Amino acid sequence: MNLKVGLLGGGSWGTTVASLIARNAPTKMWARNQNTVDDINNNHRNEKYLPGAKLTSSLRATTSIEEAIHDADVLVMGVPSQSFRRVLEDAKPFIRPWIPIVSLSKGLEQGTKMRMTQIIETVMPGHPAGVLTGPNLAREIMAGQAAAGVIAMVDDTIAKELKKVFSTGLFRVYTNEDVVGCELGGALKNVIAIAAGMGDGAGAGDNTRAAIITRGLAELTRLGVAMGGNPLTFSGLAGMGDLVATCSSTQSRNRTVGFQLGKGRSLDEIIDEMSMVAEGVKTCGVVRELAHEYNVEMPITEEMYKVINEGNTVKDAFRGLLGKETGAESEPG
């Protein structure tokens, strides 16, 4: 493949995607930490975020944003949502005109409530903006286990070309024109995953987790559709697929936060011990604001907001949810 790819972000998922892309195209990635860059270049590893995983040997890393992207035909943004705008603005002087910019982030920006493609369109107008999302746990993919993702762009022609950049034998990539739905599915499921993890940490059973997942899917679908997403998107990889993986896997950062909350630990203590970002913690407040703005009832999100931001306990959250009147399954509650 003649395309050159630049990727910004040296965490577990950014490194995993960079390693996948490097099998198909010349790839340079930017990471802040010199030790991480040296580990990738000299040992073909990123032990800090992907211990034991072997990276594609042709992948190169640098601490210079300019070096990573100045000749790139495609830019991939693998940084957390709350630093997305700042990193993109730092990169702006070195981005070639009109090249596609693809987000890997599953969050919403605090304050503006913007999706990452909206930030791309604001900072880099005229560049095709898209998102790669789905039920993708980095360590499983690096271990060679099969997985599937979806690349969403308004221009399906560009999406089909970019699919070739990300696809490998065991990582199957589908296309979707519903950028809004795909991005919202990836961001909103993190909040539900905290709730599912809380139930597991508190000793609730499989029935409880299944109820949280399915009622959580109903919540994120209601808001996603209200904001312009396609209802079918939320039954696909970016919706149900990502939700199930994130709510069920011990590798999920958001579920881990919830699990530890369910054990009675404080949020500050949990976050201090984590080396990677759990997007749902920051996204929860944004989702709640959007729910109020669009007049969508989201009881699970509301209870998670109270736990994360108002000091409510796990018992308070479950008491609040169980106190909701039930009606038709198609209704909130």
What pLDDT, on the 0 to 100 scale, is given for residue 1? 63
| Number of folded domains that form the chain | 2
Q: Assign 226 to helix, strand or coil.
A: helix
Q: Half-sphere exposure of 131 toward its Cβ, with a 13 Å CA cutoff?
A: 29
Which residue segment(s) compose the domain that 104 sits in? 5-177
> pLDDT tens per residue, the chain (333 residues)?
689 999 999 999 999 999 999 999 999 999 999 999 999 999 999 999 999 999 999 999 999 999 999 999 999 999 999 999 999 999 999 999 999 999 999 999 999 999 999 999 999 999 999 999 999 999 999 999 999 999 999 999 999 999 999 999 899 999 999 999 999 999 999 999 999 999 999 999 999 999 999 999 999 999 999 999 999 999 999 999 999 999 999 999 999 999 999 999 999 899 888 877 788 898 999 999 999 999 999 999 999 999 999 989 888 998 888 777 777 777 776
Backbone CA torsion sign across 168, 169, 171, 173: positive
What whole-number distance in Å separates Cα of residue 330 and Cα of residue 296? 13
- Rounded to 5 degrees, what are φ and ψ at 108? -130, 145
What pLDDT, on the 0 to 100 scale, is given for residue 78? 97
What CATH number should be reported for the domain holding residue 164?
Answer: 3.40.50.720
Dmax over CA atoms of the chain, in Å, equals 60
Q: Which of the listed residues 137, 155, 177 is the one where a domain comes to its end?
A: 177
281 belongs to a structural domain: yes
333 belongs to a structural domain: no
Per the annotation, the verdict on 189 as an active-site residue is: yes
Q: Assign 151 to helix, strand or coil.
A: strand
pTM: 0.93
Q: Verify that 119 and 241 share a domain, yes or no.
A: no
Q: Verify that 156 and 213 share a domain, yes or no.
A: no
133 belongs to a structural domain: yes
76 belongs to a structural domain: yes
- Rounded to 5 degrees, what are φ and ψ at 124? -125, 65
Q: Verify that 134 and 196 share a domain, yes or no.
A: no
Burial of 27 (0-12, 13-18, 19+ CB in 10 A): buried
Q: Which of the listed residues 128, 154, 177 is the one where a domain comes to its end?
A: 177
Q: Verify that 70 and 17 share a domain, yes or no.
A: yes
What CATH number should be reported for the domain holding residue 258?
Answer: 1.10.1040.10
Q: Do the beta carbons of residue 218 and residue 296 sit within 8 Å?
A: no
What whole-number distance in Å separates Cα of residue 229 and Cα of residue 243? 16
Q: Verify that 151 and 243 share a domain, yes or no.
A: no
Q: Verify that 282 and 144 share a domain, yes or no.
A: no
- Rounded to 5 degrees, what are φ and ψ at 5? -120, 135
Q: Verify that 127 and 73 share a domain, yes or no.
A: yes
- Which among 103, 21, 105, 2 is positioned nearest to 61, based on CA atoms? 21
The active-site residue out of 28, 163, 189, 282 is 189
330 belongs to a structural domain: no
72 belongs to a structural domain: yes
Q: Which of the listed residues 112, 144, 177 is the one where a domain comes to its end?
A: 177
Q: Verify that 21 and 81 share a domain, yes or no.
A: yes
Encoded tokens for 266: 């404080």
